Amino acid sequence: MKLKRWLPCLDWAASYDKATAGKDGLAAVIVTLMLIPQSLAYAMLAGLPPITGLYASIAPLFLYAIFGSSRTLAVGPVAVVSLMTAAALGPIFAAESAEYLGAAMLLAALSGVILLLMAIFRLGFLANFLSHPVISGFISASGLLIALSQLKHILGVQAQGQTVLELLPSLVAQLPSVHTPTLMIGGLCLVFLQLVRTRLKGLLLGLGCSKGWADALTKTGPVLTIIVSVMAVTLGDLASAGVQVVGEIPEGLPLLRLPTMDLQLAIELLPAALLISLVGFVESVSVAQTLAAKRRERIDPDQELVGLGTANIAAAVSGGFPVTGGFARSIVNFDAGAKTPMAGVLTAVGIALTALFFTPLFHNLPHAVLAATIIVAVLSLVDLQSLKRTWRFSKQDFIAQAATMIGVLFMGVEIGIIMGVSLSLLLFLWRTSRPHSAVVGQLPGSEHFRNIERFAVIQSDSVVSLRVDESLYFPNARYLEERIIELMVEYPQCQHLVLMCSGVNLIDASALDSLEAIAERLKAADVQLHLSEVKGPVMDQLHRSEFLQHFGGQVFVSQYAAMQALDQSSVAQAARAVHA
Amino acid sequence: MKLKRWLPCLDWAASYDKATAGKDGLAAVIVTLMLIPQSLAYAMLAGLPPITGLYASIAPLFLYAIFGSSRTLAVGPVAVVSLMTAAALGPIFAAESAEYLGAAMLLAALSGVILLLMAIFRLGFLANFLSHPVISGFISASGLLIALSQLKHILGVQAQGQTVLELLPSLVAQLPSVHTPTLMIGGLCLVFLQLVRTRLKGLLLGLGCSKGWADALTKTGPVLTIIVSVMAVTLGDLASAGVQVVGEIPEGLPLLRLPTMDLQLAIELLPAALLISLVGFVESVSVAQTLAAKRRERIDPDQELVGLGTANIAAAVSGGFPVTGGFARSIVNFDAGAKTPMAGVLTAVGIALTALFFTPLFHNLPHAVLAATIIVAVLSLVDLQSLKRTWRFSKQDFIAQAATMIGVLFMGVEIGIIMGVSLSLLLFLWRTSRPHSAVVGQLPGSEHFRNIERFAVIQSDSVVSLRVDESLYFPNARYLEERIIELMVEYPQCQHLVLMCSGVNLIDASALDSLEAIAERLKAADVQLHLSEVKGPVMDQLHRSEFLQHFGGQVFVSQYAAMQALDQSSVAQAARAVHA
């Protein structure tokens, strides 16, 4: 039982049969065909030799199949994490150098260790601090940034930089030296791939093709592009004409070897590794949860940390770079009918066979084609509409989202994400420091009390009820003091003030001091403070102080009970009773 | 009217009369006698020539009298701010040098500008982010640190350092070279001042002395100590024997001159200036509010920013250093009967006369006596008991308080306060990320719903009600999803889930996505999600999204209304009705 908890594969391996194997096998073939160009392309995006993309798609898939809890997640190099790898290493080492590769492996190792530590200390909740608007802003801006960074391959020029501010001038300066044959190939691929993605399925369906076939044919677009472009380059000898191609790729499986072991470098890369781990984990868990929900399966976020952690360590010791669960490929895997992580194992076998026997086929594959594959893939992640939706729903979320985007585009991926998270938290703190509060009255015919400004309610002359819609803690402690001073000016006949605490989820030491000051001041003005609807945990806490003994008022279980007790006893009520 | 808002002095100056002047005059004499030794001592603590303490107690008092809103606050050099000044400048310049003084004046100027900017942009609320436990920890630890830093003057040795870790070894290393005459003077003063503070009043009252006289005599302790010690040093020629004395003090008023104008230095000092401004503002406003409440006066925190800001700028251009409202002297001022800020003006005149004519009297005043004055004053601020109270009330507040103390003592005042504030905020965020929630049922005989684990309540078979005691925002968005999955396992017959939102003060975009996912999942399990007691501002926000149109449930004004509607319509209720 205990072992099963740590090895989710025992769950499905026990009942694995031929029928499932058939389904997994078919899915593996489709994912392999999709993963080969993606792996080569994302390695290029990460600043690494293309073969490392294949390496990063072998061992990690085995490990994830053993330790991961999702049945259908497809692990490997993904766009955003590759971009973050390039952003971390690009400024330190020359692209495609041995040092760069060693550092990329170290980054994967660090990321793996961080994920495993998060699993051991149950820190998966840290991923929750990346809010949805921040993630959405991060993905969109990364998509734009990646597309921009790949333009140089389409144009056949050199360009450097990690941000829009660096990339754009660098590209513009190179415009005069655009390499026409490269641009032709790249441009054609871009247009073709975009048409395949957006139009082909509809066209095929319109021609009477079945949905399954239409889906399958649409997926072959990138493979077809690669075959045609390799043939064109080979036949036209375009490589000699200056079209940049992948070139010689060493055949064979990756050798097991350790990443660069350099403590200084490890410390330098730690922040990047931390962000890569968090972003990768969030992306992966989101996909895994979405897919699991469709088939009423469950995933265990803590186990996902183990799966992704071991996958990254596998990448680190087999010549790879940071990996995580990819969105597009997982959906393809799921749609193609994968039932268990065995599909991932079979995909790894497919990639391994490719690395062993088929790498010469990629010699004449142009960089421009890989770049076109990346651009079309990442532009589909860009969702500028969501900015509008967020703006409408919450200005604060919008600020966090926009800041993340601006940060990523103009200051770099790491700064962008840190800005987004910090702003989200600061805006929340700022908001709780100026809480909403409402004077409440009784809804006629009920025991319920609501805001006098929103509902037609009954108010007492002598009892004022204030509902504070926030936990009382230090940033807003003084606010309550001021609000109550104003209230006493507004209601001069007030004899009892009831603080309705249904929205108060916490009272800290500063707020307790404030409450004591408020009770004192009210007493001096002949007004008695009471509390109502204090929640259990808050009540427990008040019992640990001396406030309840000293403040002189009562704590009522409900606002209605408070009103019944206090409005009865007041002089005003007595007077009304006499008149009635 | 508008002018009066910015010049609170117009308020009292209009009706100023002889009687008030008499009371203010008496208070001014007493405060002047108290302020002279304190000013000299705090200048020494700040690492400045003693005369600058007098300078810092002249012009700032005039300015505060014009712009400040408190009637009785006494402004000038205070212990904690002097310590912070020393901590900021000590590592950069040699104590008592001209550069040190120029930088101290710059620090006062920066602090004044920051306070005025805070007034203009209404940023006074920033001071609320210093929670009470952090302030209390900061003051106690500063008191201990100041006392330790002054021990060298009592022992007549040299010692350096900004933290306990630096000061203590430095002092211990110097123990063999203790200067006996200095130690005799310092030790006697310490014992005498401490006895005066703790015992004299009781003794005098026991001897039949009136309370007023007992108070007044107790206050004369420090002045008496100074007179006796100056006479002893002069008569015994102890200065030649190696007892460190104040020495030559230039007579006359401070010349108006600008602080060091060095942009580089200003940027370097900015963080320190910011903290000095915040701490000074908090200390000052707390005292002012306490005193104002006693006489039913009001102070305006934003106007206090103007008062303290102009006071600091006055200090900056008249050879002083950062000042703020002092706790002890304000209480003395209040108790001595001061009615208006004119008492402050008269105190300034008294100090000015001292600077003009009486400085030669302080030539033979030993440093040890000033140090004893400081130590007795600051040790009274140390409140280690409060750690125990905080521990009992809230572990999180305790952590913040303890961290502040440890930070101040061992890492320096600035790091300590930053650690305390950051920890307070992080602990709050951590707490809100794992919210309390409770399944609720109806209190018999009422329309009120409470936690089923704390109250004997009535539950429905088919309707489960969950109260979430926290705003729903990104760090806890996923938590709710998991809680509800657990709940559905626990209550398999559940047909309606009502989320009681009385404790939900905010729903952000991430939580909205979670709510949508929850509604979807519940629908798939044939459970309908509903909301109840949603507050106005949260409702407004939900209306700006499409959630309310899509989630399929209802929003009930109260939990009772939800129960009435849903429990009626459920099959279980119908079955029960048939059986009944």
Which of chain B's residues have a Cβ under 8 Å away from the Cβ of A394? 508-509, 541, 544
Lowest-pLDDT range of A8-12, A46-50, B504-508: A8-12
Interface contact flag, B536 A454, Cβ < 8 Å: yes
Which of chain A's residues have a Cβ under 8 Å away from the Cβ of B448? 447, 533, 557-558, 560-561
Residue A286 pLDDT > 90: no
Q: How far is B243 from chain A, CA to nearest CA, in Å?
A: 46
The tokens for B238 are: 């102890």
Which of chain A's residues have a Cβ under 8 Å away from the Cβ of B397? 508-510
Interface contact flag, B535 A503, Cβ < 8 Å: yes
Interface contact flag, B469 A433, Cβ < 8 Å: no
Strand partners, A529: A497
Q: Residue A200: its pLDDT value, please? A: 85
CB-based contacts of A540: which residues, under 8 Å, 6+ apart?
A: none
The tokens for B178 are: 């203790």
If phi > 0 it is left, if psi is from -120 to 50 it is alpha, else beta; for residue B103 that is: alpha
The tokens for A207 are: 């021609």
Q: Residue B482: its pLDDT value, please? A: 84
Cβ–Cβ contact B536 with A under 8 A: yes
Provide the 10 A C-beta neighbour count for residue A453: 11
Question: Following CA atoms A314, A318, A321, A323 in sequence, which dihedral angle do they give, to the nearest 10 degrees?
Answer: -40
Q: How far is B476 from chain A, CA to nearest CA, in Å?
A: 7
Q: Residue A2: its pLDDT value, please? A: 67
Cβ–Cβ contact A479 with B under 8 A: yes
Complete edge-to-edge strand list for the sheet that includes strand A449-451: A449-451, A437-442, A463-468, A496-500, A528-532, A555-556
Which of chain B's residues have a Cβ under 8 Å away from the Cβ of A433? 125, 128-129
The DSSP result for B252-286, as a single string, is SPPPP-PPP--HHHHHHHHHHHHHHHHHHHHHHHH
Share of chain A above pLDDT 90, in %: 51
The DSSP result for A101-156, as a single string, is HHHHHHHHHHHHHHHHHHHHTT-GGGGGGS-HHHHHHHHHHHHHHHHHHHHHHHHT
To test the contact with chain B by mutation, choose from A508, A522, A558 the residue with the greatest count of B C-beta atoms within 10 A, namely: A508
Cβ–Cβ contact B358 with A under 8 A: no
Topology, domain B437-579:
Transcription Regulator spoIIAA (3.30.750)
Torsions phi, psi for A351 (to 5 deg): -65, -40
CB-based contacts of A336: which residues, under 8 Å, 6+ apart?
A: A26, A27, A30, A31
Q: How far is A19 from chain B, CA to nearest CA, in Å?
A: 28
What pLDDT, in 10s, does the model give residues A411-431? 988 899 899 999 999 999 888
The tokens for B49 are: 């020539």
Domain with CATH 3.30.750.24 in chain B: 437-579
Query: A465: part of which helix (H) or strand (E)?
Result: strand A463-468
Overall size of chain B counted in residues: 580
Interface contact flag, A448 B132, Cβ < 8 Å: no
B366 and B58 Cβ atoms separated by less than 8 Å: no
Q: How far is B520 from chain A, CA to nearest CA, in Å?
A: 10
Query: B439: part of which helix (H) or strand (E)?
Result: strand B437-442
Which of chain B's residues have a Cβ under 8 Å away from the Cβ of A130? 474
Mean pLDDT of chain A: 89
Q: Which of B394, B397, B502 sits opposite A502 (nearest CB)?
A: B502
| Residue keyed to tokens 């001061």 | B338
The candidate with the shortest Cα–Cα distance to B252, out of B351, B350, B346, B357, is: B357
CB-based contacts of B445: which residues, under 8 Å, 6+ apart?
A: none
Cβ–Cβ contact B537 with A under 8 A: yes
Q: How far is B149 from chain A, CA to nearest CA, in Å?
A: 30
- Integer Cα distance of A194 and A376 in angstroms: 6
- Integer Cα distance of A56 and A58 in angstroms: 6
> With a CB-CB cutoff of 8 Å, which residues 386-445 of chain A face chain B?
389-390, 392-394, 396-397, 424-425, 428-429, 431-436, 438, 443
- Integer Cα distance of B238 and A204 in angstroms: 107
Q: What is the 3-state secondary structure (H, E, C) of B114-165?
A: HHHHHHHCCCHHHHHHCCHHHHHHHHHHHHHHHHHHHHHHHHCCCCCCCCHH
Q: Residue A576: its pLDDT value, please? A: 44
What pLDDT, in 10s, does the model give residues A373-400? 889 888 888 888 889 999 999 999 999 9
A276 and A85 Cβ atoms separated by less than 8 Å: yes
- Integer Cα distance of B520 and B44 in angstroms: 69
Share of chain A above pLDDT 70, in %: 97
Report H helices in B243-384. 263-294, 301-316, 327-335, 342-353, 367-379
B417 and B404 Cβ atoms separated by less than 8 Å: yes
DSSP conformational letter for A351 = H
Which of chain B's residues have a Cβ under 8 Å away from the Cβ of A544? 392-394
| 3-class DSSP assignment, residue B91 | coil
Q: How far is A408 from chain B, CA to nearest CA, in Å?
A: 20
Q: Which of B130, B392, B505 sits opposite A436 (nearest CB)?
A: B505
B471 and B507 Cβ atoms separated by less than 8 Å: yes
What pLDDT, in 10s, does the model give residues A437-452? 999 999 888 888 999 9
Q: Which of A132, A293, A510 sits opposite B510 (nearest CB)?
A: A132
To test the contact with chain B by mutation, choose from A423, A431, A481, A505 the residue with the greatest count of B C-beta atoms within 10 A, namely: A505
What is the CA B233 to chain-centroid distance, rounded? 40
Q: Residue B579: its pLDDT value, please? A: 46
Interface contact flag, A443 B558, Cβ < 8 Å: yes
- Integer Cα distance of A391 and A469 in angstroms: 23
Interface contact flag, B454 A132, Cβ < 8 Å: no
Torsions phi, psi for A193 (to 5 deg): -65, -40
Interface contact flag, A431 B396, Cβ < 8 Å: no
Torsions phi, psi for B533 (to 5 deg): 55, 40
B114 and B106 Cβ atoms separated by less than 8 Å: no
Q: Residue A214: its pLDDT value, please? A: 81
| 3-class DSSP assignment, residue A507 | strand
Q: Which residues of chain B have pLDDT under 70?
A: 1-2, 568-580
Q: Residue B337: its pLDDT value, please? A: 85
Q: Residue A525: its pLDDT value, please? A: 85
Q: Which of A132, A389, A436 sits opposite B474 (nearest CB)?
A: A132
Cβ–Cβ contact A523 with B under 8 A: no
Cβ–Cβ contact A513 with B under 8 A: yes
Strand partners, A499: A466, A531
Report which residue type is found at A560: Y
Q: Residue A302: its pLDDT value, please? A: 86
Interface contact flag, B475 A397, Cβ < 8 Å: no
Which of chain B's residues have a Cβ under 8 Å away from the Cβ of A293? 517, 521
Which of chain A's residues have a Cβ under 8 Å away from the Cβ of B470? 505
What pLDDT, in 10s, does the model give residues B366-391? 999 999 988 988 888 888 898 999 99
A359 and A51 Cβ atoms separated by less than 8 Å: yes
Cβ–Cβ contact B470 with A under 8 A: yes
Interface contact flag, A508 B131, Cβ < 8 Å: yes
Strand partners, B440: B451
- Integer Cα distance of B175 and B506 in angstroms: 60
Give the residue-averaged pLDDT of A57-75: 92
CB-based contacts of B209: which residues, under 8 Å, 6+ apart?
A: B217
Residue of chain A with shortest Cα separation from B390: A509
Which of chain B's residues have a Cβ under 8 Å away from the Cβ of A557? 443, 448, 450
Torsions phi, psi for A324 (to 5 deg): -160, 180
pTM: 0.82
Cβ–Cβ contact B512 with A under 8 A: yes
Q: How far is B489 from chain A, CA to nearest CA, in Å?
A: 13
- Integer Cα distance of A422 and A428 in angstroms: 10
